[in-house]
Structure formats: C-alpha cells, structure tokens
Amino acid sequence: MPANGQVSLERTLPTLTVLPRPLYARAESLSAGSWTPPHRHDWVQFSYAISGVLGVHTAEGSFFAPPQWGIWIPADLEHQVVTSMRAEMRSLYVRREACVWADERCRVLEVTPLARELIKGFCLLPVDYPEGDSREARLVEVLLDQLASLPEVGFSLPLPRHSRLLGLCNELIESPEQNVTLHEWAERLGTSEKTLMRLFQRETGLSFRSWRQRMRLLSSLSLLEDGNSVTTAALSSGYDSTSAFIAAFKSLFRFTPGELFKQ
C-alpha cells in the first residue's frame, strides 16, 4: 500500500462472476493512493493508465506501467493493483477462450497508437454489444488481434522466493537510495559474495546490479509523476549524478523523464 504518509484508499472490486461478453471494458478515475486488496478472477485482465503510473504486485514480483503502457494479468493470478498518484485507468477483461494465445505470466506491454484507439472505441460500446457478424464483434476481433501482438517491455521487478534474500530486497525497495553492496549483503546472509551472486541470478533472473538499477528507476516514476524535479528523483532513487540517472532512465524506458511524461 502507499507509503510516504499518503492517504490510502481501498478500491471497490467489480462484483462480476462471469463476463457478459468475450470482452468487457472498465474505465476508472483513481485517486492518489488507491489500491485493491489481493484478489484473483476467472478472466484475463489488461489494464493501462492514460495518465499516472499503474502498479501491479504479485508473488512473482512487481510490474509498473507509465502512461501508455499496460499490464497483462493472467486469469487466476492473485494480484494487487496500486496507484501512488492520481491516474486514469482503462481495463479490459477477456474470457480465457478469447485469448488462448496468451501465456500464463504477468507482463508489461506497450500500447501502440492503433491499440489505444481500438480500446477507446470499444469503451464506447454497450456492455451487451451485438455478437455474431456485427460491426461491434468485428471491432472486438481486431482489438484482440492487436493485444496478441503488443510488444513486451522490461518494466517488471522480479522478487526472489528465498525468504532472507526477499527481506533484503524489500529493504532496498523501501529505501532505494541505500548503497548496500553485494559484499555487505553476503555478510548479512552469512555466505560468500560469489554464492550470493549466483543465488540472486537464479532467483530473479537478473544480476544484483541490474536488479537494483531497475528497482531505482521504477521507484522514480511516482516521484516524477508527482512533479518532482529530475534531480530530486535521481537523488531519492540512489543516483549521485543526474546525467547518469537520465541515461539509465532512457535506456530502460526509451524516453528521458521529461519525454516520458509528455506522452
């Protein structure tokens, strides 16, 4: 749930038990600090923020979507949705049989201009849109085809299952400005630096250095969305150099901080 003294607002979950059509849309205006309790459902969910930064937390890790990126959540996966700042969110719920091509993992996808316009058009349709050989049903087919081809991006932060390693990772997430070295971590866990390096790679799929850099950049998103300066976001995320922060930010997000939040 939100930290830094922010007001925490629990969101009401839909009372749906089945989807009325293969595709169902939900539009929400979320207040800063909005969150859902951990939950799961019988359909796939694809959510993206028109504005604001969307976060989805699962047992496997955390996934973040800046404006115009979206998060794919498989059916039956327990997850929690959070927004640190105000956000405009669009969600698509998809019946399992309508997206048999999807794999069973949570991921962040880039919302292309075409997909964005199709989602916008679909959100204008009635919940019980006509099926069969109708204009509405054809729009749904095209939209599902587009969702199947959206490119994946690396805005996720995998978490280890190793309990003590997870505890240390959570410490860094809470205080990303910490400069704890791998050697110091190894001492705390009573193991060698080399052994810890192998364990970290096996548990997260990333090296310690890559994981910490990604964690710091992802933590900067809410600061930037809140209107903080790039320098403030860089220092709060553990960077000593604003230029190094901007270079790393662009390497991950393909935009500088200023460019990203103009999207």
Residue 67 in this model has a pLDDT that exceeds 60: yes
Higher-scoring residue by pLDDT: 31, 45? 45
> What pLDDT is stored for residue 7 in this prediction?
46
Residue 263 to residue 250: CA distance in whole angstroms: 14
> What pLDDT is stored for residue 263 in this prediction?
60
Give the pTM. Answer: 0.85
Average pLDDT score over residue span 146-153: 94
> What pLDDT is stored for residue 6 in this prediction?
45
The count of C-alpha atoms lying within 13 angstroms of the C-alpha of 26, restricted to the half-sphere facing its C-beta, is 16
pLDDT band at 92 (very low <50, low <70, confident <90, very high): very high
> What pLDDT is stored for residue 125 in this prediction?
95
Answer for the pair 84, 2: CB distance below 8 angstroms, yes or no.
yes
> What pLDDT is stored for residue 2 in this prediction?
42
> What pLDDT is stored for residue 1 in this prediction?
36
Average pLDDT score over residue span 43-58: 89
Q: Which domains does the chain have, with CATH numbers?
A: 9-153 (2.60.120.280), 159-260 (1.10.10.60)
> What pLDDT is stored for residue 71 in this prediction?
95
Q: Quick one: CA torsion of 242, 246, 247, 249, rounded to 10 degrees?
A: 130
Average pLDDT score over residue span 210-238: 92
> What pLDDT is stored for residue 4 in this prediction?
43
> What pLDDT is stored for residue 248 in this prediction?
95
Write the DSSP string, the chain. ---TTPPPEEPPPP--SS-SSSEEEEEEEEPTTEE--SB--SSEEEEEEEES-EEEEETTEEEEE-TTEEEEE-TT--BEEEESS-EEEEEEEE-GGGGTT--SS-EEEE--HHHHHHHHHHTTS-TT---SSSHHHHHHHHHHHHHHTPPEE--EEE--SSHHHHHHHHHHHH-TT----HHHHHHHHTS-HHHHHHHHHHHHSS-HHHHHHHHHHHHHHHHHHTT--HHHHHHHTT-S-HHHHHHHHHHHHSS-HHHHTT-
> What pLDDT is stored for residue 52 in this prediction?
80
> What pLDDT is stored for residue 34 in this prediction?
81
> What pLDDT is stored for residue 227 in this prediction?
85
Please, what is the average pLDDT of the chain? Answer: 89
Average pLDDT score over residue span 138-153: 95
Digit-coded pLDDT (tens) for 176-221: 998 888 899 899 888 999 999 999 999 999 999 999 999 999 999 9
pLDDT band at 8 (very low <50, low <70, confident <90, very high): low
Residue 231 in this model has a pLDDT that exceeds 50: yes
Q: Quick one: CA torsion of 96, 100, 106, 107, rounded to 10 degrees?
A: -130
